[in-house]
Amino acid sequence: MSFFDRFNGMTVNLLGAGVSNKPLVKKLADGGAKVIIRDKKTVAELGAVADEFASAGAQFVCGEDYLSDISGDLVFRSPGFRPDIAPLCAAVENGCQLTSEMEMFIENCPCPIIGLTGSD
């Protein structure tokens, strides 16, 4: 069983169609998740990226109201999204689990993790 099979039947929102969530789309969809991409850009503005996500079976909520009425099982936020903004707080209050790629990795990594911080 693949790690991503645990998402089978779940509705998973990915905030942002940029680099951070890009690898998740196909993996989650292949695992049986309903994937919803939420991005401020329109589908047309996303261009080839939207085509790639759509071919994996993703759905889209785009434009100015892309953070409205987030529902489902799980929300992956990109690093640029603070976890305490009102739409994400509302999603959590409505039963969504809020996470990120890095958070999920740390929770599931069987090895010790060492973090280094700094600007250089």
The tens digit of pLDDT for each residue in 76-99 reads 998 889 999 999 999 999 999 999
Q: What pLDDT digit, counting tens, does each position of 35-71 carry?
A: 999 999 999 999 999 999 999 999 999 999 999 999 9
Domain count, the chain: 1
51 part of a folded domain: yes
Residue 38 · residue 13 · CB < 8 Å: yes
75 part of a folded domain: yes
113 part of a folded domain: no
CATH code for the domain of 15: 3.40.50.720
| pTM of structure | 0.89
Structure confidence at residue 12 as a pLDDT band (50, 70, 90):
very high
25 part of a folded domain: yes
Q: What integer pLDDT is reported at residue 88 of this predicted model?
A: 97
36 part of a folded domain: yes
55 part of a folded domain: yes
120 part of a folded domain: no
Q: What integer pLDDT is reported at residue 120 of this predicted model?
A: 62
- Higher-pLDDT residue of 115 and 54 is 54
Domain that holds residue 63: 3-102
Q: What integer pLDDT is reported at residue 19 of this predicted model?
A: 79
Residue with tokens 């990795």: 105
90 part of a folded domain: yes
Structure confidence at residue 118 as a pLDDT band (50, 70, 90):
confident
